[in-house]
Structure 1
Amino acid sequence: MANRQPIFILSEDTEREKGKDAQESNFRAARVIGDVVRSTLGPKGMDKMLVGSIGDVTITNDGAAILDDMDIEHPAAKMIIEVAETQEEEVGDGTTTAVIIAAELLHEAQDLLNQGIHPTSIASGYTKAAAKAQEFLKGMTKDVAFENEEMLKKVATTAMTGKKVEANIGVLADMAVKAVKQVAEKNNSRYEVDLDNIGIEKQEGGSVDDSIMADGLILSKDRVHPGMPKKVEDAKIALLNAAIEVKGTETDSEVRVSDPEQLQKFLDQEEGELREMVENIKKAGANMVICQKGIDDMAQHFLAKEGIFAIRRAKKSDMEKLARATGGNVVTDIDDISPEDLGEAGLVEERKISGDEMTFVEKCKNPKAISILIRGGTKHIVDEADRSLEDAMCVVARTVESGKIVPGGGATEIELAMKLSDYADSTGGKEALAVKGFANAAESIVRALANNAGLDPIDTIVELRNKHGTDGVSFGLDAYDGEIKDMINEGVVEPVQIKTQAVSSGSEAAVMILRIDDVIASKSEGGPEEGAPGGAPGGMPGGAGGMPPGMM
């Protein structure tokens, strides 16, 4: 058996890291992502300036926006970003919290690994702790009725506190609550909210306070013909998914005309078809047309003569919202249109907003789709107001659906950490250390809040523990004055889904990364410059992998 020849299974171009090196690389990458967004947490969080490849600039402290714009290569870092994406899709807010929890769980895991505890034991402890955390969180909730607009506004306000639009928070919170309640639909004893039924239009100019919510739809479209009325009251709206044009032949064909009379007959026939289409619309009783496709110039003329307001090339999503807002049906064949298909609106008007023509379809009866027009002095302000409003609407929607809230300001996390610590004492074994690590990860949210507010995190945590130890379960940190206060009384509240989803997705990602002990990455065909320089796996430059040295 002497002179054994080595067996090569992997290509010589393959990069491989295994064991402790692979784990440490993944843990570092996760910590880097956590550190990037940690300073944005809370009302005193800092902003990030994101510069795109073409020089476009975004300034925000929204965790989802920051992570979405970052160009990440390290696979473990991408997995942490998936936590944020899941949080954003499921709840719409709390992305920073979810990412910090995932990163801190891996930091705690690294300490436990250094103590000689096997990854399987840590993963098992984390899984048990996450399940128990869900139970504890559900026990901390307080009920909120659908009719309690004041509390719903506090939920919206909490989500937007610390954003650049904080000066306009009252206007945006009010719109968020009204918009969500308008489109909410009751199903048995519960409410369901589809935020796709809330359209958002953005227009620079004015201030955020000039933003409006229409009881109907706002379209970035104008009349197709200047002879049409600018304003229509008691509008009967035809929603068409059909072109008001002469249909072409299905196959390529050629029409030969030998004399002017034949040409005139051909043109007269086309004109007659267009006139008939307009006549069908008029007979149905419509005084407004919103068409998803094109409208022929001649048809525009006929519509204008009949005093019918018309818009063309409306988006499919807008057509669906218009049907829900006006009660009309989208018609695919003009010959079949009837009065029953028409939608209704008290007012349709074309208005000039900051130099652009927009059409307002308003005064709809109990519309189940609405629009919000966001204004602002600059593009950056408008974009940030848009992000803040969407966060607010998401958390209000989740609150309306569940009817449950928990206190903010770190109150929920410190209570959760204390309960998990007690649970760890009753667990025993090596898994108990992992449960303690989970409690520390939950507590890290409070540390980040205190740090970002310029306070001593240790003093803050000690004071919060004392309060919670005497049944002050809703006491949290007021970042503005550094005082410990009852967050429910202060109106700092959040939907329970923010916490439950952050714990769920954060722990699942941490456990998945924790169980990886081998990273095998093939180089790209482009060679070292496009592959994995410096021996780091999978195109990950040195350090944390795919991260600039300054971000470590």
Structure 2
Amino acid sequence: MSQRMAQGQPMIVMSDESQRVKDKDAQEYNISAARAVAEAVRSTLGPKGMDKMLVDSMGDVTITNDGVTILKEMDIDNPTAEMIIEVAETQEDEAGDGTTTAVAVAGELLKNAQDLLEQDIHPTAIIKGFHLASQQAREEVDDIAEHVEPDDEALLQKVAETSMTGKGAELDKEHLGQLIVEAIQQVAVDTEGDETLVDMDFLKIETQTGRSASESDLLKGAVIDKDPVHDDMPKSVGDADVLLLNEAVEVEEANVDTEVNVTDPSQLQQFIEQEEAQLKQKVEQIIDTGADVVFCQKGIDDMAQHYLAKEGILAVRRVKKSDMEFLSEIVDGAVVSDLDDVDPADIGHADVDRDDADDMFYVTGDENAHGVTLLLRGSTEHVVDELERGVTDALDVVASTVRDGRVVAGGGAIEVEVANRLRDYADSVEGREQLAVEAFADALELIPRVLAENAGLDSIDTLVELRAAHENGQHRAGLNVFSGDVEDTFESGVVEPAHAKEQALTSATEAANLVLKIDDIISAGDLSTDKGDDEGGAGGGMGGMGGMGGMGGAM
């Protein structure tokens, strides 16, 4: 790459290995990459969306239609595509669901932007138009949204069921929806004003295979999937004093390599007795705390297990750190790191029951402990994994709805209504930005079109029918993919959180504008980041999304 100086001599400013893609080529390349990501997840959208099977480099299989999971698991090595994946991750973090919607809208915005670029409309005008449209769209969503009270269980359950429809949790969505709403209400705390705080740290999810999803349960307390360390220990202890220990009940090892020379049997016996005395001392310290139950994050020596069993103390070892922190909230006790420094206030209180059918301990605190565990059951690991993803999204969605207090009709109703209002708004926008606002409105209508496509319906007929209903003032009119009819989806129970829609609009717009603003790609090496394929070749597209292949000759 060279740049001519005034004297006509070339000045080298980039190395021979560097590559550069400029202007329209760069825009086309970026838009193609972003759209390829959107296309990858479009078929998963909605109740009739299909699943993807993802096989990683180790051969582990994931079957899901969760947008963010698909994009994270796919082996994408492309800077532009990764920018679109960030849209899904942001949507997941902020709203809990709607990742496929956000990515699909971002892809459609860029597709429509490409049409405008071909009409010689400058990217700056498109970016400004998209920004204006996004702001107006958020205002329209807020205007359309309906208020929901935190204790409106029926409506919250509809929100949960809508989120789970089309996912692995769909078959038992009514039962799971009840559990989800109850779980969120358990960890919701009223704050000053209209705000409701939902503390998800007090909610844990445990999974178990070999049972039906309909047998999933909500437990007011913690579930510890461990066995007692000794068979002679009690299995259940009511009104127990509980010690949470983060110290090994084992013989302390020397910090450096130590060599012990034993010259006669009495020395060996003395050495063993010293170790035994050390263990006995630790057990005595546990007994002195008055604890009936010990949950230990580290190991417990076999001999210590024997002594604890003789004292009738139930002990569980190798408990996960996250479980220890959760238990601390349930039993209202502190995690102790040193037996020499145990305070009576560190000891918690709870009922500890062993369920032999599940091989789990159920730890239930008093009425002040509001930590809950959602125990999800499924027939196989793959079923349980997808069930957990669906339920986690639904939990986040219901929590977001309780915090935000606003819902909208689903089934594409909100997108068509906002698009309809944006077209009216476009008339007030001057200059070429007006075309960008109209392009934004068209992009929103991708959602009902894809919902129809994925359900095997005619997307054009569906969109025409939806537009007609909204022109007649039916702002809740959406697509019922099961019947194929356009109806009041809010009344049909297809309800979505307004916050998730607003977040999807914001994320998609900002990502699209970020891509559109790039007019020059300068790579320090081969633009094809797929190292296995050195021959890019012009027009090769995204190289199977494994790299940027195809831009090699586009200079």
TM-score above 0.5 = yes
2:445 counterpart letter in structure 1: E
Inter-partner Cα distance in structure 2 for 1:125 and 1:526: 33
Q: Is the 8 A contact 1:281 1:337 kept in 2?
A: no
- What's the offset of the Cα at 1:415? 1.1
In structure 1, the residue matched to 2:235 is 230
In structure 1, the residue matched to 2:553 is none
In structure 2, the residue matched to 1:517 is 519
Inter-partner Cα distance in structure 2 for 1:60 and 1:335: 50
Matches within 5 A, 1:470-549: 470-523=472-525, 529-530=531-532, 533-535=535-537, 542-547=540-545
Inter-partner Cα distance in structure 2 for 1:397 and 1:208: 22
Q: Is the 8 A contact 1:533 1:542 kept in 2?
A: no
- What's the offset of the Cα at 1:489? 1.4
Matches within 5 A, 1:72-221: 72-189=76-193, 190-221=195-226
The unaligned stretches of length 5 or more in structure 1 are none
Inter-partner Cα distance in structure 1 for 2:151 and 2:528: 61
- What's the offset of the Cα at 1:250? 4.3
Inter-partner Cα distance in structure 2 for 1:321 and 1:230: 21
RMSD of aligned residue pairs (Cα, Å):
2.5
Inter-partner Cα distance in structure 2 for 1:47 and 1:487: 24
In structure 2, the residue matched to 1:343 is 348
In structure 2, the residue matched to 1:400 is 402
- What's the offset of the Cα at 1:266? 4.5
Inter-partner Cα distance in structure 1 for 2:360 and 2:78: 45
- What's the offset of the Cα at 1:246? 3.5
Q: Is the 8 A contact 2:172 2:214 kept in 1?
A: yes
Residues 138 and 474 (structure 1 numbering): CA distance in 2 closer, same or farther, change over 3 Å? same
- Out of 454, 457, 474, the position equivalent to 1:455 is 457
Inter-partner Cα distance in structure 2 for 1:542 and 1:448: 27
Matches within 5 A, 1:365-384: 365-384=367-386
1:393 counterpart letter in structure 2: L
Inter-partner Cα distance in structure 1 for 2:464 and 2:526: 52
Q: Is the 8 A contact 2:352 2:361 kept in 1?
A: no
Inter-partner Cα distance in structure 1 for 2:533 and 2:525: 5
In structure 1, the residue matched to 2:317 is 312
- Out of 280, 284, 289, the position equivalent to 2:289 is 284
Inter-partner Cα distance in structure 2 for 1:469 and 1:434: 22
Inter-partner Cα distance in structure 2 for 1:376 and 1:141: 36
Residues 28 and 316 (structure 1 numbering): CA distance in 2 closer, same or farther, change over 3 Å? same
For residues 251-290 of structure 1, the C-alpha deviation after alignment (integer angstroms, 9 at most, x for no partner) is 5555566665555454444333332332332232211100
- What's the offset of the Cα at 1:458? 2.7
Q: Is the 8 A contact 2:18 2:526 kept in 1?
A: no
In structure 2, the residue matched to 1:7 is 11
- What's the offset of the Cα at 1:54? 3.4
Residues 328 and 527 (structure 1 numbering): CA distance in 2 closer, same or farther, change over 3 Å? closer
Residues 522 and 467 (structure 1 numbering): CA distance in 2 closer, same or farther, change over 3 Å? same
Inter-partner Cα distance in structure 1 for 2:6 and 2:350: 91
- What's the offset of the Cα at 1:184? 2.4
Q: Is the 8 A contact 1:183 1:367 kept in 2?
A: no
Matches within 5 A, 1:244-393: 244-254=249-259, 263-349=268-354, 351-353=356-358, 357-362=359-364, 364-393=366-395
- Out of 219, 239, 246, the position equivalent to 2:244 is 239
* Pair 1:21-2:25 in alignment: yes
- What's the offset of the Cα at 1:94? 0.2
Inter-partner Cα distance in structure 1 for 2:529 and 2:121: 39
Q: Is the 8 A contact 2:34 2:81 kept in 1?
A: yes
Residues 462 and 366 (structure 1 numbering): CA distance in 2 closer, same or farther, change over 3 Å? farther
1:341 counterpart letter in structure 2: D
Q: Percent identity?
A: 51
For residues 339-371 of structure 1, the C-alpha deviation after alignment (integer angstroms, 9 at most, x for no partner) is 432222223315353xxx433223653433332
The unaligned stretches of length 5 or more in structure 2 are 551-555
In structure 1, the residue matched to 2:63 is 59
Paired residues, number: 543
